[in-house]
Amino acid sequence: MGNEDNLEDAFVAVIRPKNAVSLSSKEYRAKAYEILLIEVPLEGKEKKRKKVLLGTKIHTGSDTSRSILEYVDETTKPISNNQGFIGKRVVHMKKFPLEGENAGKEASLFIVPINVKDNSKPTYSPGSPSFYCLQDIMRVCSETSAHFSSITSKMLLALDKWLADQHSVPHAIPALFRPSPGERVKTNVSNPAYAPEGKQSDAPLHMGYTALEIKSKMMSLEKADMCIQNPLYGSDLQYTNRVDKVIINPYFGLGAPDYSKIQIPKREKWQHSMSSVTEDKERQWVDDFPLHRSACEGDTELLSKLLDSGFSVKQLDSDHWAPIHYACWYGKVEATKVLLEKGNCNPNLLNGQLSSPLHFAAGGGHSEIVQLLLQHPEIDRHIEDQQKRSPLQVCEENKQNDWEETVKLLQQANNKPYEKVRIYRMDGSYRSVELKHGNNTSVQQIMEGMRLSQETQQYFTIWICSENLSLQLKPYHKPLQHLRIWTEIVTDLTVLDPQRETPQLFLRRDVRLPLDVEKKVEDPLSILILFDEARHCLLKGFYPSPDSKLITLASLLLLIIYGSYESKKHKQGFLNEENLKSIVPISKVKSKAHHWTNRILHEYKNLSTSEGVSKEMHHLQRLFLQNCWDIPTYGAAFFTGQVFTKASSSNHKVIRVYVGVNTKGLHLMNMETKVLLISLKYGSFMWQLGQADQYFQIHSLENKMNFIVHTKQAGLIVKLLMKLSGQITPNDRSLTDKYAYG
């Protein structure tokens, strides 16, 4: 007998699908499954019975799967003509706490899937389990239901939820009911020549040879020159062929059709059937994609009318081609010109096979269109298709029409100097960066063109900023395309007049940069760029701090700008309003700065004479940063919004706010006074995105305070909160990464 302490309570849910079709469904239906339950009498009430899951005890150190499969086989023999149901596998779902005498212990629920229900009539055996429709069971199942034991009710409810979750995971349900490994082995052949040492038989095999004789003959044969091993062999990876197009039969799984409703065409129409199918497809394409057809035919008049009526030049047809691809493929020069100029079409627009208009025009040898595209300021001359071929390579391979002239144009274009874009720093300086890929140039490529060291690059990225909106771009974003549609972005994210917002590209601190990483920065150039941005934010009022902190920062700025204190030069009148604007936040210049003058000069003098303060410029800049690191809003990305507060019992007051998000948490600042209204660290608050991304709600866990911020930037704010708090990984890319932050 085994030790009772090593025994564990186990419950078994034996489930089977009613038909094979339900296994491929993404939608979970309880009525598609049956579950094995056994009826037992209620305590003290012989006539009343309740249903329970199969239950047994298993040894904790034994082979659990084998024990449970053997138990299911033995238990189901009375209802299957002594055959037993063979489980495909054993899946441990979870553990449940027991009640009553066994309180404090746990029981495991195991799921055993078996074959699809067949048409054989079940055998009834008193006291044996029976199959029941899962939907019927779940209708009457609850934790307090008298139809089931308490533990069975809990397990059935958990099983129902678990099956629903599995249906939402691709391939999970087919994998659950897949034949067991033993069933999948059809034939097993052993090579007698490679029997284990000491077990080789001397008995004669086929053709009268013993195993040793066969082995010697095989070793004398020629060996293979090359052995190629399938890398997928023996792995659990499911190999799927890459396909260009998937067409799913919409009638699959709906059962046999009603043949009485099928109309057979007349005999005279039979010979036209194939051609009519093609004609129908062409007619459908013409109806669905009129802009594509007019581009294909070069009908510029119709093309202009369709563009005026709102048709999009970006729309892809059933073959994943845009109108400009057809115009370039068929050599329609004027149509291409209309799409580029009137339709404002992206000259680098890719089709489903990653070919650009320039590839199509070059491949067809349409030199006029190639010239037209190359003159476009946003063209990417070095764009590559799916096979990594440039337009020049495609032209030389195809040699169509006027290909020689096309080759000359492409070669001349490749030798032309590149367009440049200015990337500004926060001190007003800039560097011009070559756009080797036109408006297709990505943030990553611009960063490489900045000629910064690898170490410096990791701290910064490209931002696009106008007077009232700043967005950090991701490495794969294309800044020139953002510049081109900035009015659209401003309209989408703010209520401002987009005509008053002039965008520029900036090199700025990456909002995701952890503070402990920044504290280790020693590179002078990196420190200078970080300092310039910190000073800019301080003077704009984005670093709300106590007066003592602001006075220290102001005295450090004096030391950095004017050098050490000199009594003859730096007298009382030295700090006039103009000089104060360069060292004190704009919100404090008129209200407090004049009262601070003596204190600033006094601390400036002390810093100048202190032996513990290095007068090296990057050391002073680093000291300035050190004094900024403990400011709650340091390194934050700022957004704009509105908060409604109750001014009286009858009306509400609207407060315009800046919403700061950084690696520390969320911060709200009054837009007018620059006063910090609230600062919450991650872990001390919860957030929820509102309807249509027009607002978000904040709940403070510490003081139970709730407030709502109304802003069109709510989606960006919540995405950044999730990223910086670690709820989503930095490299996740989704369709919502339209503008920035991701």
Q: Tokens 């009343």, residue?
A: 48
Confidence band for 46, pLDDT divided at 50, 70 and 90: low
Q: What is the DSSP string of 438-458?
A: GGG--HHHHHHHTT--HHHHT
Upper half-sphere CA count for residue 137 (Cβ side, 13 Å)? 32
How many Å separate Cα 487 from the centre of its chain? Answer: 27
Of 43-52, 229-238, 319-328, least confident by mean pLDDT is: 229-238
Span 154-194, pLDDT tens digits: 999 999 999 988 888 888 898 898 888 877 776 666 665 55
**Measuring CA to CA, which residue among 32, 29, 9 is closest to residue 149?**
9
Of 333, 431, 342, give the one whose Cα is nearest residue 373: 333
Q: Is the pLDDT score of 29 beyond 50?
A: yes
The identity of residue 369, as a single letter, is I
Alpha-helical regions (H) of 421-523:
443-449, 454-457, 479-484, 486-493, 515-518
Q: How many other CB atoms are found less than 10 A from the CB of residue 610?
A: 10
Q: Is 472 strand, coil or helix? A: strand
pLDDT in tens, 488-499: 999 999 999 999
The pTM (predicted TM-score) of the whole model is 0.58
For the chain, give the mean pLDDT. 85
Residue 474 pLDDT: 93
Confirm if 572 and 597 have CB atoms less than 8 A apart: yes
Name the range with the highest mean pLDDT among 92-96, 587-591, 609-613.
92-96
pLDDT for 543 equals: 96
Residue 57 host element (H or E):
strand 45-59
Collapse the DSSP code of 13 into the 3-class scheme (helix H, G, I; strand E, B; otherwise coil) and give the result. strand
Give me the pLDDT at residue 662, please. Answer: 96
Could you report how far apart the first and last alpha carbons of the chain are, in Å?
Answer: 62
Higher pLDDT, 274 or 19: 19
CB atoms within 10 A of CB 172: 12
pLDDT at residue 411, as a whole number: 94
Domains of the chain as residue ranges with CATH = 4-176 (3.90.79.10), 279-415 (1.25.40.20), 420-509 (3.10.20.90), 545-628 (1.20.80.10), 637-724 (2.30.29.30)
Residue from 365, 373, 368, 369 nearest 398 by CA: 365
